[in-house]
Structure formats: structure tokens, C-alpha cells
Amino acid sequence: MSIAPALGNAAWLASSLPEYRKFKAATGDVEAAQRALLMDTLRRNASTEFGQEHGFARLSSWDDYRSAVPARSYDDFVPWIDAIRAGKKQVLTADTVTLLEPTSGSTGAEKLIPYTASLQRQIRRAVAVWTTRLFLDDPTLLGGPSYWSLTPQMPAENRPDSVVPIGFDDDGAYLGAVAERLLGLTMVTRPGLKRLDDMDEFWSWSLLLLLSHRDLRLVSVWHPSFLAILLDRMAVHWDALLDALARGAQHPRAGLSVKPAARRARELAGIGPGDPVRIWPRLRLISCWCDAHAALSVVEIRRRIPGVEIQGKGLVATEGIVTIPVGAHYPLALRSHFFEFVDEQDQVFPAWQLARGRIYTVLLTTGGGLYRYRLRDRVEVTDFLGDTPCLRFVGKADAVSDRCGEKLSAAHVGDILQRLLQRHSIEPGFAMLAPDATGEVARYELYCDAVLPEAFAAALDESLRENPHYELCRRLGQLGPIAVVTVPDDAAGRFLERMGAEGGRLGDVKPTPLSDLDGWRGIFRAV
């Protein structure tokens, strides 16, 4: 047993149990919990600019709320968020906006999501339920440290000007300062990892910290391909990693260090890099995305780390948390945010009126100041925990390709392609970006029936890197550089044929600048 992580885990469990009990009780009456949360949100923010404009003080029910406040997408919130960025107070929330967290947008390169103490408290409630249930289901998780992947910081030169800080210094800060310090006792990672601009350094130090902890119990990453890259790089740099581990290493600028561990290095030398189960013999659980395209990478992780449980993360967005893993269920985070759901006939339902087997898109109201926000995630009601709906993520409502967390949207890709093609005075009959997984590293290919300049692929790649999620996937090596593929003049017809074979009605199929399907080379029989 690792004493410091065990104490940290025990303290976290003790602090989280009350919220778990409240959540468990609330699942028996989702309507009461959701109505109470909505009215509390309206009351707290009635005096804000947004609250006054929409008459929050006069609203006394969900019916009042949906009549007074239209459903909005991010672009509709931009004027308010721009005011916040300029330093204005009491715009969307009574709480001070402490930070704007970047994420990708559907029609632009980036969204900036306001974070407040209320939103962090809401996120902390959901995380407390998840981790408490993990510890209750498997108490051995309490005895050792966890690996929670950190996201390298966006370079400062790529951040917009703002009075309010942009981006968290540490992923644990999503939960607030107290929880961040408490969970910090349990983690093998250190905040300094985020300050490593050089990706080779980032991967090497991540691996050094991981390898130094034989007692590792939990691995939490977002996309499973991140873990696959770690394992691949571990194999390539195995000897250098063991040498650094035996000698010890320091990175003063990032505040990172690994104590000399010659005995551990000798143990690892006798195992080799191809057996993660023996490298971390007490590893019990891997938490990662498992739905949609991530499912393909999960198969690979199961093969490489056999016998270790893999649990899906549920539906988590920068804007808020929708579902929480609770055993084999993924119930709505009903004590975190207020939720509404739009069915395929554009009818709006509250959480207490959902039907099993139906598919909906999510509207989100949070303590960060997003009201009836179109999250654009499509979910299916799979079952119920008490009377609380359990949901499965089935994809984006918009045309989005998201193989490893890049979140490319058709609208944004289309804008970039149009701009670049106009710059070169090229008018192709067909141009479409799509993923390709045939190489060692996944990448995107641009299929075009016009001959493009040699530098076009690099220019497209550079423009797409305006999207912070695509930029991160490129920096981490989850995606390789874009390739241009010249296709025959009848490419549009072959596109229609394939979409028809995929079940689309040919009369409804429209050309798209982005496809989330791969295998197009064979369809087009590229020239």
C-alpha cells in the first residue's frame, strides 16, 4: 500500500460520501431534484444582465423558463462572453467568472466557456458520485495512486486577449482548489507536466512518473488512443526511460522530479515494455471514452492490457457533465445541472418525461451562465436508475468527425476549405475531408478532383489547428499530418453511391466538406 495516496483516497471518499448519498436519494425523484436546481439557478442569477433581460425574478416554473428563455447555441452567447472577457461583471452569473476554458466550436475555431465557483461545485458533485461508487465497488482502489492524464497547455501566443484568464493551469482545477489539493495526493502526475512545450519531454516525463509507481491502481484518460500512444512510446524509449529512472531525473523549470529507483528499474528490465499487466500488477481500472468511434481504440487497449476493467466516462463536455458512471449505469447528473431534451420532432422534454429507447439532443443550464444551451450531443435513453434516465452517447447532432477527440465540424472545415481554395483561385467539383486509419497513425485526407498546390495540405492542417482539440491531437501524435488525394471527375457520383449503400436516401444526401467515414480511397479509386 502507498501511504500518501491511500490517505488522500480515504479523505476524498470521506468528503464525497455525503454527495453520493444525496445523489442516490435524488434518483428516486428526478423531477423534484431538477425543479429545485432550476429555481435555485434562476434565483441566484436574477440580478444579472441576462437574468434581468429574461425576467428571471418573475419565473416560477419550468414552463415559465422555457417560454422566457430561447434555446441558444454558443454563437448566440458570444456578445455576453465577449463582455465577460473584457472584464464586465454580473453579465451571465452573479458569481465571478474566474476563468474562460477553451473548447472547439461548431462554426468557428474556438469557444470560451465561463467557469465560476458554482459550475465547479456542480462538476465536483458529479465527480464525487463517480469516485465514491468506484471505491465502494472495489475498495482496493483506495490503496494506491491514480494516473489522470493532463492536457498540455495551449501555447500562450495562441490564446486570445482577455481580462479573465484563459484555460486552467491544471486539469484538477476543474474541481476547485480544495478538491484539487486533495486529489493531488493521489495522483502520479504533477501540474508541471502541462508546462512542457516539447512533446517529447511531455511524453517522457509522463512515462517516468508512471513507471516509478508500481502500485498504480487507476488510469483515467479521455480518448483511449492517448493510452495507446503512451504504451507505444514506452516501448520505443524503454532503455532510456529505465536509465533515467535508475539515476533519477529533475526538470527544475517544470518543477518535476523522479527519485533514483535502481531496484524498480531492474525489476522493469526483467519484465520488458510489452507487458503492462506485470509493469503495474495492481492496476484495477481504466477510465476512458468508450462510445462512438472511441470504441475501436478500446478494443486495442483490451488486447494490450488484458484483464483490467475498462469503464466508460459517460458524457462529459467542457460546458458540463451530462452522465455519471455508476456501476453498469450512466445516469443523468441530476444534481449538477438542469437538463432539457429535444426529440427528433423538435419537441422539448424535461428529464422526468423521457422515454426508454428514444433519442434526444441535450439542452444544458449550468452555474457557469449557459442557459438552455444547445450541447448538440445526441443521447439514447437505455434504462432508468430509480426514475432517473440513464443515457448513452450516440453522436453529435451536427456533422462532426471525432476519431480521437479532435471534434472537427463540417461547418468549420467548410469555411477553411472555401477560404483556402479561393486564395488559390481553385474551383473543384468535389472536395471532402475524411479520416484515414490505414497507416500506423490516423490522419485526415482531403479528396479533391482538382490538382492542388504542394503546400495546400500543410496550409489546411495549420488552419485546422485553430481548433484547440485538433491542435492537441496533432501535438500528442494521435493524428498525423493531412494528405491530399486527387480523385476522378466522377467522385461526387461515387460519394452518392456509398452514402446510398450506407442507408441514406439519395434524394436527401448532400455534398459535405467533412465525412466521419473512412475507407474513401477504395471508393474513389484515387488517381
Segment 124-181, tens digit of pLDDT: 999 999 999 999 999 999 999 999 987 766 555 455 678 998 877 655 556 666 666 7
Domain boundary among 311, 334, 357: 334
Residue 368 maps to a domain: no
- Number of domains comprising the chain: 2
β-partners of residue 311 are 287
Residue 379 maps to a domain: no
Can you list the alpha helix ranges (DSSP code H) found in 114-223? Answer: 117-137, 177-184, 199-211
Residue 311 maps to a domain: yes
What local confidence, expressed as pLDDT, does residue 377 receive?
86
Can you list the alpha helix ranges (DSSP code H) found in 248-307? Answer: 262-271, 276-279, 294-304
132 and 273, same domain (yes or no) = yes
322 and 421, same domain (yes or no) = no
**Reported pTM:** 0.82
228 and 126, same domain (yes or no) = yes
What local confidence, expressed as pLDDT, does residue 222 receive?
85
CA distances (Å), origin 460, targets 101, 217, 420: 25, 41, 7
397's grid cell: 447532432
The rounded average pLDDT for each run of 10 residues, N- to C-terminus, in the chain (527 residues) is: 84 94 98 98 98 98 98 95 95 96 63 94 95 96 91 58 79 62 80 83 94 96 86 95 96 92 97 97 94 75 95 92 95 98 93 96 97 92 97 80 86 88 88 90 93 94 91 92 91 79 55 86 77
Domain boundary among 285, 302, 334: 334
What local confidence, expressed as pLDDT, does residue 311 receive?
95
CA distances (Å), origin 75, targets 31, 78, 82, 86, 110: 30, 5, 11, 17, 11
Environment class of residue 467 by beta-carbon count within 10 Å: exposed (0-12), middle (13-18) or buried (19+)? buried
What local confidence, expressed as pLDDT, does residue 403 receive?
86
DSSP string, 141-163: GGGS-EEEPPPPPPPGGGSPP-S
Domain boundary among 282, 316, 334: 334
Residue 251 maps to a domain: yes
What local confidence, expressed as pLDDT, does residue 94 receive?
98
329 and 421, same domain (yes or no) = no
330 and 407, same domain (yes or no) = no
The DSSP H or E segment spanning 383 is strand 373-385
With beta carbons less than 8 A apart as the criterion, state whether 337 and 321 touch.
yes
CB contact set of 139 (below 8 Å; sequence gap of 6+) = none
323 and 435, same domain (yes or no) = no
Residue 203 maps to a domain: yes
Average predicted confidence (pLDDT) for the chain: 89
Smallest Cα–Cα separation from 167: which of 151, 143, 144? Answer: 151
At residue 120, the 3 state secondary structure works out as helix
CATH classification at residue 427: 3.30.300
pLDDT tens digits for range 385-411? 999 999 998 877 777 888 888 889 887
322 and 411, same domain (yes or no) = no
Smallest Cα–Cα separation from 179: which of 11, 39, 32, 420? Answer: 11
Residue 235 maps to a domain: yes
329 and 404, same domain (yes or no) = no
519 and 427, same domain (yes or no) = yes
Residue 213 domain boundaries: 1-56+119-153+164-334
103's grid cell: 473548447
Residue 74 maps to a domain: no
Residue 446 maps to a domain: yes
